[in-house]
Amino acid sequence: MPACYQRRRFLQLAALSAAAACLPACDSEQPGGRYTAADIDRLAQQRLREGAQTGLGPFGPLRFKGYRGLAELPWFELDTNGELRIADLDLPRAIDMHCHLGMSLLLAPEVDLQQRTERVIHLLDCDAGDPGCDLDLDVYINRNFSDEALDELWWGSAAQGLWGSRAAATQTIPNLLREMDACNVERASILPIAFDLPFGDDLTERWIEAIDSAGAGERLIPGCSVHPQDPARFTRLGNFAAAGARIIKFHPTMQRAYPDSDAMMELYAECERLGLIVFFHCGRAGIEPESTHRYALPRHYEAALQTYPRLQFVLGHSGARDVAEALPLALRYDNAWLDTHGQGVTTLDTMLRRTGGERMLFGTDWPFYHLAASLAKLLIITESEPAKRAALLRGNAQKLLRLAAPAASAQPVRR
C-alpha cells in the first residue's frame, strides 16, 4: 500500500476518533434484552433468502448496468448527453416523499446548496464507471454495492462532518430539481436529521433557508428534525413548524433512541399538536453500525402507532430488511404509511397485493441513489394497473400531505 495512502488513512482515522467524542454516547445494552440473538439471526436469514430468490419472482430477472442501464425499460431513455430521463410523458407526475440534500456538519465547509454542477455524485453511485455497477431491482437496493463502494460511503459520511465531501457538494437544490425534471417528479419532501452534535448541527435551519432562497417552495416540501436529547427540542419543533416544515424526520439508529422511549413519546404528542407528519427511518438496512441495529426493529414502533392514532407515521424503507415485520404494522394501523424506497420488485409487489396500494408512498432516498432506481420498480409492479400506479406515485402522498390536485401539471423540462 503506498505510503501516502497510509498517511491519509491515518489522518482520517485520527480525525474520526476526535469526532466520535462529540457524538452522543451509545448505551451498553447487549443482545438478550430488547435486541436478541433471534433478531440477529433473522437479519442473516433475510440476506440468504434474498440472494437465493432474486429473479425468481413474477417479473423474472431485472438486472441492468448502472442507473443508465434503466434506459432498457420502456419508460426511460438516454438524452443526447447520455443522461437518464423519462421517455413516457403520459405517466403521472410523482411526489417523492423521501429526499435529502448534501450534508455538512461539525468541521466540514458548508455546502453551497444553490450551486449547479455537471452531474450528481450519488452517495452510492452506480454510474461512477462505464459500464455502471450491476443493478438488480429484485433485491434490497444496497445489496447491489460492493464492499469497496460501501467503504467509500462510510468515508464519505465521515467527510461530511470533518474535511468536506466532494459528493455532498453536488447534492444541491438545482441538481435535485434537474433530476426531478428528468424523472417526471413534481415535488419532493426534504428531510434533514438532527444528530445532537455540539456545533454544525443545523441542517433544518439551513435547508429551509436554502429552499426559500432558491424560490423552490412550490416543488420542495421542507421537513425538520430534532434530537430527543436536545433540551430545546420542543421550542425548536414549534419554530420549525412556524417556518413551514410539514414533516419531521426521526432516525432511531443515527439518533440512538428507541422510538417507543419516553422522550420520543413526548415528542409525538407535540408533533400531533403542531400537525406534523412523523417520518421514521424504520428497520435495519444492514450497512449501518451493528451497535445501532437494535433501535430500529419494527416492534419498537408499535407503541407510537397505537398511542397516537390521529398522528400520521411514515415507516421509512417499509422496514428495510425487516419488511416482514413492518408490513403487518401498516395492515394493523390506519395511521401507518409505507415508504417504498429500497425494497426489491417482488417484495413491492407483495406489499401492493396485501395493502391494495393504500398508504404506499413513492420515495427515493436521494442523494444516496438516482431517483429512477426507485421509480422504475413502481412502474414495473403497476404496469397493468394505472389507478394503483397513480396512487403510489402521487395520489397517496397528496392525501397524506393534504395537497389539492393541480389543475394541470406541467410536463417535465427537457434539457
- Confidence tier at 325 by pLDDT (50, 70, 90): very high
The pLDDT score that the predictor gives to residue 22 is: 44
DSSP string, 194-263: ----SSS--HHHHHHHHHHHTT-TTTEEEEE---TT-TTHHHHHHHHHHTT--EEEE-HHHHT--TTSHH
Q: Mean pLDDT over all residues of the chain?
A: 91
- Residue whose C-alpha is closest to residue 370's, from 121, 142, 81, 133: 121
Going by the DSSP 8-state scheme, the letter that residue 393 receives in this structure is I
pTM of this prediction exceeds 0.85: yes
Going by the DSSP 8-state scheme, the letter that residue 24 receives in this structure is P
The pLDDT score that the predictor gives to residue 19 is: 42
Going by the DSSP 8-state scheme, the letter that residue 134 receives in this structure is E
Write the CA distances from 351 to 147, 163, 318, 354, integer angstroms.
29, 41, 9, 5
> In whole angstroms, what is the distance from residue 286 CA to residue 322 CA?
10
**Segment 349-360, tens digit of pLDDT:** 999 999 999 999
The pLDDT score that the predictor gives to residue 29 is: 43
> If you search the block for the grid coordinates 438516482, which residue do you land on?
370
CATH class belonging to 61-401: alpha beta
**Segment 243-255, tens digit of pLDDT:** 999 999 999 999 9
**Segment 4-42, tens digit of pLDDT:** 433 333 334 334 333 433 444 444 344 347 999 999 999
| C-alpha cell read off for 178 | 434537474
| C-alpha cell read off for 98 | 423521501
The b-or-e profile of 392-408 (16+ CB within 10 A means b, else e) is bbbbbbbebbeeeeeee
Which H or E element spans position 409? Answer: none
Residue 370, CA atoms < 13 Å, CB-side half-sphere: 29
Torsion, Cα 148 64 67 324, to 10 degrees, reads -80
Position 401 pLDDT exceeds 90? yes
Residue 12, CA atoms < 13 Å, CB-side half-sphere: 16
Distance of CA 211 to the CA centre of its chain: 19
Distance of CA 363 to the CA centre of its chain: 7
Do residues 196 and 230 touch, judged by C-beta distance below 8 A? yes
Whether cis (ω within 30° of 0) applies to the bond prior to 367 is yes
Query: How many residues in total does the chain contain?
Result: 415
The pLDDT score that the predictor gives to residue 405 is: 61
**Mean per-residue pLDDT for 181-193?**
98
DSSP string, 152-211: HHHHHHHHTTTT--TTGGG--HHHHHHHHHHTTEEEEEE-------SSS--HHHHHHHHH
For 220, other C-beta atoms within 10 Å of its C-beta total 24
- Residue whose C-alpha is closest to residue 98's, from 221, 182, 183: 221
Do residues 46 and 321 touch, judged by C-beta distance below 8 A? yes
Poorest-pLDDT segment among 18-32, 107-121, 218-232, 265-279: 18-32
Domain ranges for the chain: 61-401
Percent of the chain at pLDDT exceeding 70: 89
Do residues 375 and 362 touch, judged by C-beta distance below 8 A? yes
The pLDDT score that the predictor gives to residue 404 is: 67
Position 62 pLDDT exceeds 60? yes
The pLDDT score that the predictor gives to residue 18 is: 39
> In whole angstroms, what is the distance from residue 381 CA to residue 373 CA?
13
Q: What are the DSSP E strand ranges found in 293-393?
A: 313-316, 336-339, 360-361
**Segment 341-385, tens digit of pLDDT:** 999 999 999 999 999 999 999 999 999 999 999 999 999 999 999
Write the CB contacts of 286 (distance below 8 Å, at least 6 apart in sequence). 43, 47, 140, 142, 320, 321
**Segment 101-149, tens digit of pLDDT:** 999 999 999 999 999 999 999 999 999 999 999 999 999 999 999 999 9
- Confidence tier at 412 by pLDDT (50, 70, 90): low
For the chain, helix, strand, coil in percent to 5 are: 45, 10, 45
The pLDDT score that the predictor gives to residue 186 is: 98
Max CA separation in the chain (angstroms)? 62
